[in-house]
Amino acid sequence: MLIRRREDIPFSEITPKSVYLNRRKFLAGIPPAFLAARAAKAGMKLPGLAKSPFSTTEKITPYKDVTTYNNFYEFGTQKDEPSKWAQGFKTSPWTVSLEGEVTRPRKFSLDELLKLAPLEERIYRHRCVEGWSIVVPWVGYSLSALLQQSQPTAKAKFVEFQSFFNSGQMPHAAGIQFPYAEGLRLDEAMHPLAFLCFGMYGETLPPQDGAPVRLVLPWKYGFKSIKSIIRIRLVGSQPATTWNMENSHEYGFYSNVNPHVDHPRWSQATERRLGEFFKRPTLMFNGYDQVASLYAGMDLKKYF
């Protein structure tokens, strides 16, 4: 074994005494949520989360309901299948590619994504196009914090998202073409309500709910909140999206919650919260009036 003498060690490699003596103070300054999430597996606690002013005060839907009744066609088409078939889903290592009409294209590891902004808890209400709704405490930060890293060019008008797909890990995938794709206008994606999500209920995301990183868009129908993201691409024209390609008559590009535009097979005027018996009126933009200015002057029945 080679033992290096003091005189053999360059000064640049020696830890300053002040840094060594204050190492505990330095570690204490790192956000606890980040330390927990660096090597987190599904269900690990994320302590020390900031509370978001964007949160609703409505009653939170029970964790069991949200994790056992959901859509994730990569793990089956029935609502109870993702919680069963996704348990072996491998989410580490994981990278997200940021590319397209940007000045600084790059790939981010999950660790790097977690460093970009402080994690916070946001309690959002959600409306599914099928008529049910939920209220969930998500963990993450505004999507804009990531998109700003890329320095979008003047040609960037839309943002395209792609989910992970591997038939070996997802043998029960069915019902649609894969990989799953979604899209937003750039101004929608930059709105502070658009949320890049790494956890829920104070824990890292379970695989059936989009681990390890997903999008959450509370003013749009649930299928717009793409799960298990591996690529984000800024483009100059409107990108193709999965459900719009599958059935453009039923699923428009914008997919904003609009109780005045019925789905061809059912009304969107009311909804039923999971765990509740009675229905409630559906709110325009799901009650998130902060985004209304994004659609000023648009015919929201034509651009549904």
pLDDT (mean) for 123-143: 98
CATH classification at residue 219: 3.90.420.10
The confidence score (pLDDT) of residue 43 equals 76
14 contact partners, CB below 8 Å, separation of at least 6:
none
In a domain, 302, yes or no: no
Residue 141 has pLDDT above 60, yes or no: yes
pTM of the model: 0.86
Is residue 110 a part of any domain in this protein?
yes
User: Phi and psi dihedrals of 141, rounded to 5?
Assistant: -155, 170
Does residue 8 fall inside a structural domain? no
Compute φ and ψ for 274, nearest 5 degrees: -55, 130
- Residue 25 in any domain: the answer is no
Ramachandran angles phi, psi of 271, nearest 5°: -145, 160
How far is 226 from 108, CA to CA, in rounded Å? Answer: 18
Which residue, among 192, 254, 178, 266, has the nearest Cα to 223 in the 3D structure?
A: 254
Instruction: Answer for the pair 85, 174: CB distance below 8 angstroms, yes or no.
Output: no
pLDDT digits (tens, 9 = 90+) for 69-85: 999 999 999 999 999 99
- Considering its fold, how many domains does the chain have in total? 1
Look at 12-16, 29-33, 194-198, 226-230 and tell me which has the smallest mean pLDDT.
12-16
Q: In this predicted structure, what is the pLDDT of residue 48?
A: 87
- The mean pLDDT of 103-129, rounded to a whole number, is 96
Q: How confident is the model at residue 63 (pLDDT cuts 50, 70, 90)?
A: very high
**Residue range 253-287, pLDDT digits in tens:** 999 999 999 999 999 999 999 999 999 999 999 99
**Residue 213 to residue 204: CA distance in whole angstroms:** 9
What percent of the residues of the chain are helix, what percent strand, and what percent coil, each to the nearest 5?
Answer: 25, 25, 50
